[in-house]
């Protein structure tokens, strides 16, 4: 038997209210016609709970735009799953934050892609999105729901990374998670010039690594193997991750965890299983076989 993934990401809808230039899920204004029904989602969640999944991320699209979002969250948490929600923040008010907390959400990740409104809004495709996202963060704070900022690193914002980290600290985020911009299809079409060159990536990762030494909040850089190599090379011990904790984080210093035992797997809105949004190789569909069977029997994995 192959060890189950540690983390599962379920994009519950492709519907979104923004038009982000880098969208990995290629979100759109309307939901896809073949998205999993609530009944199908419940069956999937039962399988994940029985499988012993440690962490489940609901994202999209914009997950809060799915009409049965709270029902899905409540069912997941009733089955003992630890739920995190990935949102652009623009749809979150105090009522939404309280409903998420009452439904059992552990944390919300809000996307912030610049230290200034101009850089965030230009990347997210809507004027005013920056302040809406910050209001979403404030709503979470008022409701007592932990939140973190998810921030994409690109050429345009290299000089804003310190300001973005400071913004996360000032707004009360529990963590700042930086993502390296990757050339998925929409990026190739909309903003290929924003992808970092190797030395640009190395320089900014070294800066973030140094910031790890005494940052008042957690800093994470998933999906960038270069980062963990820099931490080891410089012998930097992240302030919030003692060495014994790091050893328990799957694939912390072993490269990509997508599709790996104790690693990571992604479920698309229509039930397709892929290793990761950045590696969209179809492994199967839960409408035809359970996610457990797909995971254990896939010749690709």
- Which residue segments constitute the domains of the chain, with CATH numbers given? 7-297 (3.20.20.70)
The confidence band for 69, taking pLDDT boundaries of 50, 70 and 90, is: very high
For 184, how many CA atoms within 13 A lie in the half-sphere containing its CB?
A: 18
Total length of the chain: 301
Helix (H, G, I), strand (E, B) or coil at 37: coil
**pLDDT tens track for 47-65:** 999 999 989 999 999 999 9
Supply the pLDDT for residue 257: 77
Supply the pLDDT for residue 42: 98
**CB distance 139 to 105 below 8 Å:** no
pLDDT(79) > 80: yes
Distance (Å, whole) CA 113 – CA 157 = 8
* Average pLDDT estimate for 87-109: 98
pLDDT(248) > 70: no
Closest CA to 245 of 264, 224, 218, 216: 218
Supply the pLDDT for residue 255: 67
* Average pLDDT estimate for 214-237: 87
Supply the pLDDT for residue 232: 84
Supply the pLDDT for residue 249: 61
Supply the pLDDT for residue 246: 58
């Amino acid at each position: 038997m192959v060890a189950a993934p540690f983390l599962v990401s379920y994009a519950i809808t492709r519907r979104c209210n923004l038009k982000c230039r880098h969208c990995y899920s290629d979100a759109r204004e309307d939901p896809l016609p073949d998205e999993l029904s609530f009944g199908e989602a419940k069956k999937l969640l039962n399988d994940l709970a029985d499988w012993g999944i440690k962490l489940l991320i609901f994202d999209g699209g914009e997950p809060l735009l799915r009409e049965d979002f709270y029902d899905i969250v409540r069912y997941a948490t009733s089955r003992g799953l630890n739920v995190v929600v990935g949102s652009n923040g623009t749809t979150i008010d105090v009522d939404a934050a309280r409903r998420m907390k009452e439904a059992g959400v552990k944390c919300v990740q809000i996307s912030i892609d610049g230290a200034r409104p101009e850089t965030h809004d230009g990347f997210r495709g809507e004027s005013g999105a920056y302040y809406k996202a910050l209001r979403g963060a404030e709503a979470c704070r008022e409701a007592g729901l932990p939140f973190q900022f998810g921030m994409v690193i690109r050429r345009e914002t290299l000089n804003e990374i310190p300001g973005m980290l400071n913004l996360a600290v000032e707004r009360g985020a529990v963590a700042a998670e930086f993502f390296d911009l990757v050339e998925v299809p929409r990026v190739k079409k909309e903003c290929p010039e924003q992808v970092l060159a190797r030395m640009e990536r190395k320089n900014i990762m070294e800066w973030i690594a140094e910031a790890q030494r005494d940052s008042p909040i957690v800093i994470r850089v998933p999906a960038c193997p270069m980062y963990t190599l820099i931490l080891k090379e410089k012998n930097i011990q992240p302030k919030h991750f003692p060495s014994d904790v790091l050893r328990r984080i799957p694939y912390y210093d072993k490269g990509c965890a997508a599709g790996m035992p104790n690693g990571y797997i992604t479920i698309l809105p229509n039930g397709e299983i892929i290793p990761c949004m950045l590696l969209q190789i179809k492994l199967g569909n839960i409408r035809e076989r359970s996610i457990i069977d797909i995971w254990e029997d896939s010749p690709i994995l």
